[in-house]
Structure 1
């Protein structure tokens, strides 16, 4: 478990053992079962894709079989990513034996045990070593189909359902396909899934791929529900690798860091090219984007700081006085930098703070009246 490094596999942090108990410490997650009723079909679709990626990684790259894929072995991280856990029965293909399967049979999820194992048959051939995971996944995917039905993409759902039942739940283990065959399934061509997957892999994309993606993604983001963008995409969109990309900073970040005044749902009905189209209204921006901005202000990178300062006047009024008080010393660091552009932008930002924090805090309390008010009073 320590050596498995994949964004969709539960991250191991520590192992603790005392005389009575053993503890495995992982990243903070919650069981999928406790959240499934609260997730949208689009989020479930993206989560399912993450599970497929993790299992393809285990089977194809690690020659490892999970042996217990089911709803209780899938978890959800704080950023919405689904994580494959329940790794206690995981073994390398070469280490799985009939004896091991028989010994653990009563401990694993019974509904996902393959027909051949139920019949006491075991074939050690590496060609079909993935077949137990394929069947278990088929049972898990079938369980999720009822949650995917509201997608409205009838043809995509029907095709996916057919593949699951005819291929992954096939009683013949030799006919069950490998997981990588599902990665290009039409079900996962949804804008949200494709955007999320690109952002997760942005570090390995070519400059041309990133240019094409960032030049078209803003309109796609605008078509998604505000809450989906806020809860699932704000964090990856404000990652270091996105903020360092010039195309992203010019074509995407202005729409994200410019909140829309008004209540949820008050955005313009249509995305208008060559204009700023705020992706989030102020209430949602305050809740989901402001905390991310606060964290990014701790980063000592001139380019990233200037990206935040470029839009500072658009969102600073959404920060609480407490947040601004904590942020202020970080902001002032820009005045001591040798980059003149950064200094100039910082001075503009400091000016924006005066009406929000007061001149005594921003400039200092020792001020005197130097200018007099010469405007005639109207009687």
Structure 2
């Protein structure tokens, strides 16, 4: 029955007391413990006062401190949470903090980071003292390194309020209970005459001077050490000298200190203090100020301490975006700071913002999201990407603004590993096919080819075999030179996905056409790629067992980088296709469907920039132009392209469509209007594959020694003779080798044969042809023997000489 009265009353305290953190080195009547809220993971600090081991005066001081901290609310004063008093102990729960002396010893930051951080900390304590002295009409009477605490956000908080009194109290009756605190007493304290000269700020300003000295030199053990100023920054020396001056009336007011040091060149005038003060007052800033601030914030973040960025700046950015009108300018610094979060916090704080942002119709927001995609894509789950993000991204493929289309194409590089089969192999490729063939921007067509080459490893093997060659051959017929170069090098970079038969029958013929391209860069790329593919075929020809290893990756979903095929193409991995093309100008206006007609002009009229393929992935349109266009378009982001009619013209059937178009001239594949048609260098509009051109010239050369290639004993078979007779009525025959023509040395004379009339029985003209053939063979044999004899008797020939 009496168990209720024996229950421990501390169980009513809402916090659990953990291990001790610091005994505050006998500088405080409190011991600091770790703690957490019951039923939660929230960490707190608990100041514990053991009544049994303390004096009555110390007990009264502890109770006074609890009451005083309850009533003091300021961003730079320790935050009170709860308290509990029993006959054994007093608990004071505050936000989680650690003593400044301990915090400075643990800090690993150096250089500019430390300078900015310490300036911010001293500013906060000065601001807290200004609040107490000027607004609260109070004196703190205990300012030193042991009365200052630091929370998780790196903010310095003023604590140690045991000795706070009103400004009217001259302090003569105030004494420090702990002898170790007497070193911080102002020099005028024992002198009543000097106390009369003191004002409400004098005592605390002396303490502020002691704090500044301890921050740069360590704990103060002797008052005479305050004369040493070697480690104090030059910007603070003048102020420090005033703070520790012997005359109390000459010590400045904390409000005046802030005003002086916040001026240009002052100690408190730096990027970190400016940033944190702006974030504290962001609710009263207008939209232009916010955009300007966030746009300039990102480059400064590297100089800020990580704990300040993670716990102070990042939450403010998220809040400003969710509940304010900060706009898309906040995205860049927010995603940069997101790297400081662990996976759990990232999923909780950043991912919901990302999903919300992708549903925005604001062009600037979408553009900046796509630009920052690489910084957060690794934290997104595949389901989130496919169900919530990709459907929103896909709208960008059809946007009327070139910048959005281009950045959407580039974003697929980062999205591809997480996309589902349908999204990647159907939806993305459908958009890529349309952009590569119909987009009016040469840079977008080029980057579409580059992107396709880079995501090839993620495509399904069957789709890959059907799409890649057709897509890259289409790029090689583009009137834009960088697009042709991208198509060539994309073939080389993805060569492990092609069967050797396709290399011989489709790829090499298409590449050979570009060896006569008017652009030198295209020709060079074509020759280099041809040599690589020919080397591959030659190796397999010499050793057929290599064929299996060369084609090992064709039907695999995850290709191996160590097989023979990938090793052969090592030069192609670092080719131009590893980079994106940068458009010529920084500002490109949106184009209507009529602008696609520009693709039919000769390639010489559409020149690339000085650096056709650039490592940069910068946008082709500035944010200003996006904002202007977005304001005029409302929420409409649908392209002028008729997307509904694009579905049957996929890459797998591309060549079939082109052949049909060249013969029928109907539909969207008309050779004169198809933007994939190659540039006409001969004044004709007809699209040819290069193999129906008979103007090949003399492949044998002009040297007479070439005639030795033909063996003197070589004879034609009866079937070959019959074929010649059948063809003689339709076309002329080659020239005779007897004439040794310089233009066609081994050819046949057109007048060698006359048309033959077929008669039953023996054909006299056929017999005559056989006889003349034998005579020619004998003459050729004698001629060769004569040349060999003359070479043997004449001795060695000089290099480049001709012997007749």
TM-score scaled by structure 2? 0.34
Deviations 1:247-278 (A, max 9, x none): x5433422542xxxxxxxxxxxxxxxxxxxxx
2:32 pairs with 1:32: no
Alignment-derived partner of residue 368 in structure 1: none
Q: In structure 2, do the counterparts of structure 1 residues 114 and 64 end up closer, same or farther at CA, with 3 Å as the change threshold? A: same
Q: In structure 2, do the counterparts of structure 1 residues 197 and 97 end up closer, same or farther at CA, with 3 Å as the change threshold? A: same
CA contact (8 A) 2:346 2:379 kept: no
Q: In structure 2, do the counterparts of structure 1 residues 227 and 105 end up closer, same or farther at CA, with 3 Å as the change threshold? A: closer
Relative to structure 2, which stretch is displaced further, 175-184 or 298-307?
298-307
CA contact (8 A) 1:243 1:249 kept: no
Alignment-derived partner of residue 136 in structure 1: 207
Q: In structure 2, do the counterparts of structure 1 residues 111 and 299 end up closer, same or farther at CA, with 3 Å as the change threshold? A: farther
Unaligned runs of at least 5 residues, structure 2: 1-68, 219-229, 397-411, 422-459, 467-497, 501-804
For 2:461 and 2:288, how far apart are their aligned partners in 1? Answer: 59
CA contact (8 A) 1:244 1:304 kept: no
CA contact (8 A) 1:67 1:132 kept: yes
Q: Shift of the alpha carbon at 1:358?
A: 7.4
Q: Shift of the alpha carbon at 1:74?
A: 0.8
Q: Shift of the alpha carbon at 1:196?
A: 2.1
Q: Shift of the alpha carbon at 1:70?
A: 0.5
2:309 pairs with 1:241: no
2:339 pairs with 1:286: yes
**Structure with greater Cα Rg:** 2
1:47 maps to which of 98, 108, 121: 121
2:278 maps to which of 198, 217, 221: 198
For 1:316 and 1:200, how far apart are their aligned partners in 2? Answer: 27
Deviations 1:354-379 (A, max 9, x none): 945978xxxxxxxxxxx995757847
1:253 maps to which of 328, 331, 342: 331
Q: Shift of the alpha carbon at 1:27?
A: 0.3
Deviations 1:322-355 (A, max 9, x none): xx49x96xx98x79xxxxxx9847999xx98894
Relative to structure 2, which stretch is displaced further, 301-310 or 114-123?
301-310
Task: State the aligned residue count.
Answer: 318
State how 1:1-379 maps to structure 2 within 5 Å. 1-37=69-105, 38=107, 39=109, 40-94=114-168, 97-99=171-173, 101-102=174-175, 104=176, 106=178, 109-119=181-191, 123=195, 128-146=199-217, 157-165=233-241, 167-183=242-258, 184-185=260-261, 186-207=266-287, 209-221=289-301, 224=303, 227=306, 230-231=309-310, 234-241=313-320, 244-246=323-325, 248-257=326-335, 285-288=338-341, 291=345, 294-296=348-350, 310=369, 313-319=373-379, 324=381, 344=392, 355-356=417-418, 373=462, 375=465, 378=499
Unaligned runs of at least 5 residues, structure 1: 148-153, 258-278, 336-341, 360-370
Q: In structure 2, do the counterparts of structure 1 residues 169 and 105 end up closer, same or farther at CA, with 3 Å as the change threshold? A: farther
For 1:357 and 1:65, how far apart are their aligned partners in 2? Answer: 63
For 2:132 and 2:279, how far apart are their aligned partners in 1? Answer: 22
Residue aligned with 2:268, SS: helix
Relative to structure 2, which stretch is displaced further, 185-194 or 116-125?
116-125
Q: Shift of the alpha carbon at 1:36?
A: 0.8
Residue aligned with 2:78, SS: coil
Q: Shift of the alpha carbon at 1:143?
A: 2.0
Q: In structure 2, do the counterparts of structure 1 residues 107 and 177 end up closer, same or farther at CA, with 3 Å as the change threshold? A: same
Q: RCO greater where, 1 or 2, for CA within 8 Å and sep 6 or more?
A: 1
For 2:359 and 2:246, how far apart are their aligned partners in 1? Answer: 57
TM-score scaled by structure 1? 0.67
Q: Shift of the alpha carbon at 1:300?
A: 12
Q: Shift of the alpha carbon at 1:145?
A: 3.6
Residue aligned with 1:210, SS: helix
Alignment-derived partner of residue 338 in structure 1: none
For 1:96 and 1:59, how far apart are their aligned partners in 2? Answer: 14
CA contact (8 A) 2:147 2:158 kept: yes
For 2:394 and 2:85, how far apart are their aligned partners in 1? Answer: 51
Residue aligned with 2:213, SS: helix
CA contact (8 A) 1:199 1:236 kept: no
Q: Shift of the alpha carbon at 1:117?
A: 1.0
Q: Shift of the alpha carbon at 1:174?
A: 1.3
Q: Shift of the alpha carbon at 1:115?
A: 0.8
Q: Shift of the alpha carbon at 1:208?
A: 5.2
For 1:55 and 1:297, how far apart are their aligned partners in 2? Answer: 40
Q: In structure 2, do the counterparts of structure 1 residues 97 and 51 end up closer, same or farther at CA, with 3 Å as the change threshold? A: closer
Residue aligned with 2:72, SS: coil
CA contact (8 A) 1:56 1:179 kept: yes
CA contact (8 A) 2:291 2:327 kept: no
For 1:234 and 1:346, how far apart are their aligned partners in 2? Answer: 32
For 2:148 and 2:305, how far apart are their aligned partners in 1? Answer: 26
Deviations 1:117-150 (A, max 9, x none): 133568479x811111011111111222459xxx
